Structure 1
Amino acid sequence: MIVYGKNVFTQLEQDPDSIERIYLQKGIRDRKLIDRVQRLKCDIQYMDRNQLDQLVKDRHHNGIALKVCPIPELSLEELIQKADRPGLLVALDGIQDPHNLGAILRTCDCVGADGVILCRHNSVSLTPTAVKASTGAAYTIPVCTVTNLKNALNQCKENGYWVIGSDMEGARDYREGIYDVPLVLVIGSEGKGISPLVKKQCDYMIKLPMEGKITSLNASVACAVLLYQIYQARHPL
């Protein structure tokens, strides 16, 4: 797997055994970055800008890319067992934009969430773009990929979790949510929202007020607002 960006390197720098090769852009002027790379004593390959662009299929790589071992994932059972109490998991139902996934992972790290549940089909996975957008959080937040999200949520409920979904219809204001219990927060796809079968697994729905002419928020933005509301409820000043 090829990942890229300075923030991703900063995270991987702490686990050099996971790095198989480092690709540096020829002529890069960041002397501190070069020194950090050389201290790791990993295999280094220098490439010109066009070669690096083609390698990562993106121009926003900050002059560094890395060939790494696959990011390890947990089973759902392991994710539940490792969660602190009260647990906080985020389940993504049909999210397809890797930038949204990366941003959600980043927010999960910031609020101390215990993990993210992804769907195997018709959903984004931990692609290099998602890893870059996460600014390294793809390596700090445990991820579990399930075949059937409905069944996974039911398993979470059997382990004491409440499942709440973000939706506009039949939902209570997000400030009225019950957040001091183990929670799975479900975020629906960018276009269709939460699927009907998954919605049936939700104990209740919450919504964000929309006072202007726009009727929805970006999925990662909505997730961030809701996660910080949960954080505020659990850690009041």
Structure 2
Amino acid sequence: MPRGRGSSARPLLSNHQKSWLWGTLCVEETLRAGQWPIYELLLATESDQPIHRQIVEHAERLEIPIDRQPARRLEQLCKARDHQGVLALMGPFPYTSLARFEQQLTPQSRIVVLDRLQDPFNFGAIVRSAAAFGMTGIVIGAENQVQVNSHVARSSVGLVNRIPIVRVESLGESLRTLQQAGCRFIAARQDGEFRLGELFAETDFAEHPLAMILGSEAHGVSAELDRLCNGSVRIDMAEGVESLNAAVTAGILMYSLSPLTNLRSES
């Protein structure tokens, strides 16, 4: 993790205004992980709760500069009132490379692929569920896809630090690379051929790394990625309900695929 204030040319998460991360749990989790560069920490003058003292201890251990400012100044910097008395100035997010991720795959690996997801709060909620349900990692594209930013990190409660997130230039090419490594793909669709719990009755899915592809909120899974899939899965719902929020859909499907649960087909 970079130490000190450094030069004005240091790379930031985004522009200066959008490179602040705030909230006690999110910042504490990020400091504890020690992977995402933090250049500077700002604490509100009156912030002296146990969580603030833990944050200061982490920052001092990592030799990150700490400054005290009035709470109003923190609000001006992050353009939010819910900063909880702490701001961190962030460098670029440390995405995992596809090559490194591929080396870690096993037949039990469970992967989430996001195809052009636009809402940062959906993305953050998906990251949180992926970490909770033991997913191996998340793969996203570099274009037409929200990247890891402060809103994503806050929505995940800092859990972007606990699960590998792979960013690739081309999802199609990258999935073909994973396919050659033995990975199987399943698309989340309203008319999917498999119900929850049925996938592991299929030997082809049970004996290979499995990636679930979730499409954009507006357009679903792209035709290019759909052609790479070995099947599709659906969530049965009450009559008259057409769809679920992307993050809710992802959470239900991840639970069904999770190595931490026993949700399997009875057949």
Same fold (TM over 0.5): yes
Q: Which residue of 2 aligns with 1:14?
A: 32
Structure 1 contact 53–59 (Cα < 8 Å) conserved: yes
Alignment of 1:66-105 (within 5 A): 66-105=88-127
Percent of aligned positions with the same letter in both sequences?
Answer: 25
- Which residue of structure 2 lines up, in the alignment, with residue 217 of structure 1? 244
Question: Which letter does structure 2 place at the counterpart of 1:131?
Answer: A
Deviation string 1:188-233 (CA, Å, 9 cap, x unpaired) is 1111111111111111010101214321111111111011111268
Shift of 1:53: 2.4
AA matched with 2:42: Y
Q: Are the aligned partners of 2:44 and 2:85 in contact in 1 as well (CA < 8 Å)?
A: yes
Name the SS of the counterpart of 1:102 in structure 2: helix
Q: Larger % of strand: which? A: 1
Superposed structure 1 runs of 4+ greater than 6 Å apart: none
Map 1:177-216 → 2, pairs under 5 A: 177-178=199-200, 180=206, 181-216=208-243
> Alignment partner of 1:124: what SS?
coil
Question: When the two structures are superposed, what TM-score results if normalisation uses the length of structure 1?
Answer: 0.90
Aligned to 2:167: 145
Counterparts of 1:138 and 1:90, CA distance in 2: 14
**Kept after mapping to 2: 8 A contact 1:84/1:114:** no
Show the counterpart of 1:33: 51
Partner of 2:16: none
> CA 1:207–1:15 in structure 2 vs 1: closer, same or farther (change >3 Å)?
closer
CA 1:236/1:216 → structure 2, altered by over 3 Å: closer, same or farther? closer
Q: Supply the distance in 2 between the matched residues of 1:136 and 1:38 (Cα, whole angstroms).
A: 17
**Aligned residues of 1:20 and 1:43 also touching (Cα < 8 A):** yes
From 165, 171, 178, give the equivalent of 2:193.
171
| 2:33–2:161 Cα contact (<8 Å) kept | no
1:50 to 51, 66, 72: 72
RMSD: 2.2
Shift of 1:125: 0.1
Measured in 2, the distance between the counterparts of 1:131 and 1:6 equals 12
- In 2, the alpha carbon distance for the partners of 1:232 and 1:210 equals 24
Say if 2:33 and 2:162, in contact at 8 Å, map to a contact too: no
CA, structure 1 residues 53+83, in 2 after alignment: closer, same or farther (shift >3 Å)? farther
Distance 2:139 2:125 in 1: 15
In 1: Cα distance, 2:225 partner to 2:101 partner: 19
Structure 2 gap ranges (5+): 1-12, 14-19
Give distance in 2, aligned partners of 1:47 and 1:189.
40
Contact preservation (8 Å) 2:256, 2:263:
no
Count of equivalent residues: 236
Amino acid of the residue matched to residue 113 of structure 1? Answer: M
Question: Normalising by the residue count of structure 2, what TM-score does the alignment of the two structures yield?
Answer: 0.80
